[in-house]
C-alpha cells in the first residue's frame, strides 16, 4: 500500500489533523478540526485505515477518533478491533463507515453493517444516527 500523506490543515480558528487517502485521488481521507482554544494532542494510530484520533483536554479528557471506510475497501473486523483498542477511554468514534442497517435508519442491511453491529456489541458502544 502506498505511503499515506499526513498534513496539518488550518481553518480559521481551528487546528486540523488529516490522514489522506493513499495515492493522489481526490476521494477519501479524513480530518478532525479542533477549536484552537481547546488543548489537544494527536494520537498516533497503528492502522492502514483512514483514521485520525486526538486526546482533547477541556474540563475532562476525551479521545475523539474520526474514521472513513470507503465503500470499495475490504475491511476486516480485526482492523476495526485494532483501531478501537488503541483509543484511550473514554472515547467517541465518529465517521463514515459506509454501512447500511435498519439499526441506524436504513431500509437495507449489508455485511459491513453486521461487522459494525458486532463491534458495537462486543465493545458495549452506542450508535447515534446522524439524522
pLDDT at res. 46: 96
pLDDT at res. 25: 56
Q: Which helix (DSSP H) or strand (DSSP E) does residue 43 occupy?
A: strand 39-43
Q: What is the pTM of this model?
A: 0.84
pLDDT at res. 2: 40
Taking CA atoms, 45 is separated from 73, 82, 105, 112, 116, in Å, by 18, 10, 30, 22, 19
Identify the CA nearest to 56 among candidates 91, 10, 107: 91
Q: Where are the alpha helices (DSSP H) in 3-108?
A: 77-85
pLDDT at res. 3: 42
Residue 115: strand, helix, or coil = helix
Residues constituting the chain:
131
| One pLDDT digit (tens) per residue for the chain, 131 residues | 344 444 555 678 998 888 876 665 556 789 999 999 999 999 999 999 999 999 999 889 999 999 999 998 999 999 999 999 999 999 999 999 999 998 888 899 999 999 999 999 999 988 876 54
Distance CA 41, CA 24 (A): 27
Residue 31: strand, helix, or coil = strand
Amino acid at each position: 500500500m502506498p505511503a499515506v500523506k499526513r498534513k496539518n490543515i488550518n481553518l480559521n480558528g481551528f487546528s486540523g489533523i488529516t490522514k489522506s487517502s493513499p495515492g493522489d485521488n481526490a476521494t477519501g481521507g479524513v480530518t478532525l478540526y479542533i477549536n484552537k482554544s481547546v488543548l489537544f494532542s494527536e494520537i498516533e494510530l497503528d492502522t492502514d485505515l483512514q483514521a485520525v484520533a486526538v486526546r482533547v483536554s477541556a474540563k475532562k479528557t476525551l479521545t475523539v477518533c474520526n474514521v472513513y471506510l470507503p465503500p470499495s475497501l475490504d475491511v476486516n473486523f480485526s482492523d476495526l478491533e485494532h483501531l478501537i483498542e488503541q483509543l484511550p477511554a473514554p472515547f467517541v468514534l465518529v465517521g463514515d463507515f459506509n454501512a447500511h442497517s435498519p439499526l441506524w435508519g436504513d431500509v437495507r442491511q449489508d455485511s459491513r453493517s453486521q461487522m459494525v453491529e458486532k463491534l458495537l456489541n462486543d465493545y458495549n458502544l452506542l450508535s447515534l444516527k446522524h439524522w
